[in-house]
Structure 1
Amino acid sequence: MDYQLLSKYKYNDSGAIRSVEAVEREYQERLNGYSTVVSRLVPTLDIDLYAQVAKYPLFFVQTTSLLALVNKIFRHSAEIQDLSNTLPGVASEIYRRNLLTQEVYYTNKIEGVDVTKHEISTIIGDLDSKQAPQKRLTSTVRLYNSTTSGRVVSIHDLTDIRHIYDQLLDGEIPDSKLPDGQHFRKQPVYIGDELKKVHTPPRTESEIQESIISLIKFMNNDDILDVIKAIVSHFMFENTHPFYDGNGRTGRYLLSTYLAAKFDTYTGLSISTAIHAEQNRYYRAFKQADDYQNRADLTLFITQMLTIIVQGQQDVIQNLRVLTEQLDAAATRLHQQLSDDIQWTVAFVFAQSALFTEDAITGVKDTELVEFLFNDDPKRYHKVSVRRPIQELETQGVLHMIKERPLQHVIDDALIQK
């Protein structure tokens, strides 16, 4: 029989409701089972529209299906790393930028923030430009970019949480919704709208601080599998809802960067896209986990989130396989058309850029290409000499200029099959 939450377990197969004592016995058996992990986290659970309770320790049962999903995530991550390791350097970086665009786009889309992928792509394309003006979402993009490029996020106290929030959402939160407490909000809120309340989190800043302090201790506990710890932390952060606005985006950022650090960058940058595709399942899992009848049982919440992570990984694997085949085909066509080795190398870099990004503006810029080739072989690809084949390829119609400052070319569509 499939694992059931207590809110469903109380209705047995005959339709009669199990007694309170029977449900309590089942709860105690789960809580004290050999495969159960009981934490010191105590989420705020909803009894009804007005009443909440915070007395049940958060726990989960390591079911066979849950552990199978964990194993699948490890296998998928290894496959993603194998596939990405076969990519040329530019293709790998451009694909990371593409996933970064989608991650920032969808984490905002989930919250109803009006934004386009082109806006985000433009910011990513200008990250290294000192002349680029500050735009909305620039702070979000910069923080995602730095943490998914290898910088590990360390969280040891309340100030660290607030610092991440301030960095991530700088300029994105209206003044009326900025935190008004020492670190977090001071006033009570509820999640949902006027017609349908979904969850009422801790009401006072002292309650929020107590919850977040426990969460930080949990996040730094190495006795729990990393992916499960990340999911439990994600739930607990959203359950606490420490800010008036921006909790979802902050929570998904923490989840994304943690997965990127513990598994691979592509897994970390596919989580919001996968959540958006399963948005109803995502919110339903939260609602069930917030229900006091289930007594802080996170087994099915973890299982649902693991499933979403796996789906995101599967999409990445499928994309990488297809794009690798297309890149191989483009290389063959370029060999047939170009006899000059340096011209072919330059054109092949632009082919990688075109295939591995959705928006040309986030593709490789001319200065980036020159720098990349020079670092690869400074004797063969001198910075001055590389600019000449770019001009020659433009004259031949192989490349087309799309931007002057900074100078940027793209390869002709006829030479790739995107």
Structure 2
Amino acid sequence: MKPPYQITNKILMLITSISEKIGEINGAFLYRLTTELRKKNRIKTIQSSLEIEGNTLTEEQITALLENKRIIAPKKDILEVQNAIEVYDRLNQFNPYQLKDLEKAHSILMNGLIESAGKFRTTNVGIVKGSKVEHIAPGGTMIRGLMKDLFRYLKKDDDLLLVKSCVFHYEFEFIHSFVDGNGRMGRLWQTLILMQQYPVFEFLPVESLIKQRQKIYYSKLSESDKKGNSTPFIEFMLEIISDALEEVLQSQNKPLYAGDRISLFKDKIGKNKFSRKDYLYHFKNISAPTASRDLKWAVEKGILAKFGEQRLTEYQFLSN
């Protein structure tokens, strides 16, 4: 059964905005963030997602752990970060449409933190905020059936992936499949879902914006609970995604140079031979002389092999 929600005018406007920004990012090849920025954004993602759950480690401490340095901090907090580093490093190994992969990711994320890591809960739970019961989750005997339904929706429904990723995130939090770790898993899995269609999401610091608006994040989950549909949460998450994409555009809007273009084209063309015309078709905003200079530079650097002369010239990337 399809989870309940409505496609509002606000959702349509946000999808249009997000699509335009993704188009701009793809057109400028900004999805290929620098190694330094990828690392920085990954650290921000881990720190923000865990801070939402009460972890005390700073970005500097997480950086130190990534560099295998010792830090002074609560043992549980260190283990949470180490687990998160591992699961994000293995993100490309998980299939977002496979229930067993979600269980596997949870077992890594919560390893050593709870006894039932990677296993759905079988008991009944209520989510308490202060002295108030905020949410009564479905009974433990219903979990696997509900999760199978949710994955079926994710695989089969025709709605846009942007919408389905938000719906999945909300429904996952509502079901509360595991004894602990549901918040960080829901945010992780939405990222994984979006990565399948939009590579930029692998290193997009969506989590840090959620952290900044943490009260609104929880209020939208609660509002969706009360309304019986995920529409308020979808609108909120699409706003977050739009703002995160805007941050990429603002911070990374810089020109590409010969080495950048050659590297990007290698990812595209692989081992196949190609002509200058093929190269120009891929980089429509450069001139023919610029393309010739790029290719000449790459040949001189031993990156490309050159075959033939003049109009019959072809190139091929060398193995390295």
Normalising by the residue count of structure 1, what TM-score does the alignment of the two structures yield?
A: 0.55
Residue 92 of structure 1 is matched in structure 2 by 34
Question: Which of 136, 141, 154 pairs up with 2:85?
Answer: 141
Q: Cα offset for 1:270?
A: 1.7
**CA 69–222 in structure 1, closer or farther in 2 if over 3 Å, else same:** same
Task: State whether residues 41 and 203 of structure 2, in contact with CA within 8 Å, keep that contact through their aligned partners in structure 1.
Answer: no
Q: Cα offset for 1:138?
A: 2.5
Q: Which amino acid aligns with 2:147?
A: I
Q: Percent identical across equivalent pairs?
A: 23
Residue 311 of structure 1 is matched in structure 2 by 243
The separation in 2 between residues aligned to 1:193 and 1:153, in whole angstroms, is 33
Q: Cα offset for 1:64?
A: 2.1
Task: State whether residues 270 and 313 of structure 1, in contact with CA within 8 Å, keep that contact through their aligned partners in structure 2.
Answer: no
Q: Cα offset for 1:125?
A: 4.2
Q: Cα offset for 1:61?
A: 2.2
Residue 66 of structure 1 is matched in structure 2 by 11
Q: What stretches of structure 1 of length at least 5 have no aligned partner?
A: 1-39, 42-57, 128-134, 329-375, 380-418
The separation in 1 between residues aligned to 2:244 and 2:31, in whole angstroms, is 20
Q: Cα offset for 1:282?
A: 1.0
Instruction: Map residues 15-414 of structure 1 onto 2, 5 A cutoff.
Output: 40-41=1-2, 58-85=3-30, 92-125=34-67, 136=79, 137-147=81-91, 150-151=92-93, 153-157=95-99, 159-171=100-112, 173-175=113-115, 178=116, 183-204=119-140, 206-266=141-201, 269-291=204-226, 294=227, 296-321=228-253, 324=254, 377=301
Q: Which amino acid aligns with 1:141?
A: I
Task: State whether residues 74 and 263 of structure 1, in contact with CA within 8 Å, keep that contact through their aligned partners in structure 2.
Answer: no
Q: Which amino acid aligns with 2:21?
A: H
Q: Deviations over 1:74-131 (max 9, x none)?
A: 11122233444497xxx6121111110100110001111121212322344459xxxx
Q: Cα offset for 1:199?
A: 0.7
Q: Cα offset for 1:146?
A: 3.1
Q: Cα offset for 1:167?
A: 1.8
**CA 240–141 in structure 1, closer or farther in 2 if over 3 Å, else same:** same
**CA 61–220 in structure 1, closer or farther in 2 if over 3 Å, else same:** same
The separation in 1 between residues aligned to 2:10 and 2:198, in whole angstroms, is 20
Q: Which amino acid aligns with 1:162?
A: E
**CA 83–145 in structure 1, closer or farther in 2 if over 3 Å, else same:** farther
Q: Cα offset for 1:185?
A: 1.4
Q: Which amino acid aligns with 2:62?
A: I
Task: State whether residues 241 and 247 of structure 1, in contact with CA within 8 Å, keep that contact through their aligned partners in structure 2.
Answer: yes
Q: Which amino acid aligns with 2:39?
A: R
Normalising by the residue count of structure 2, what TM-score does the alignment of the two structures yield?
A: 0.70
The separation in 1 between residues aligned to 2:111 and 2:250, in whole angstroms, is 35
**CA 231–303 in structure 1, closer or farther in 2 if over 3 Å, else same:** same
The separation in 2 between residues aligned to 1:267 and 1:73, in whole angstroms, is 16
Pick which of 242-251 and 312-321 moved more.
Answer: 312-321
**CA 280–308 in structure 1, closer or farther in 2 if over 3 Å, else same:** same
Q: Which amino acid aligns with 1:218?
A: Y
Q: Cα offset for 1:139?
A: 3.0
Q: Cα offset for 1:151?
A: 4.5
Q: Which amino acid aligns with 1:274?
A: L
Q: Which amino acid aligns with 1:199?
A: H
**CA 79–170 in structure 1, closer or farther in 2 if over 3 Å, else same:** farther
Task: State whether residues 267 and 312 of structure 1, in contact with CA within 8 Å, keep that contact through their aligned partners in structure 2.
Answer: no
Task: State whether residues 103 and 270 of structure 1, in contact with CA within 8 Å, keep that contact through their aligned partners in structure 2.
Answer: yes
CA RMSD of superposed structures (Å): 2.8
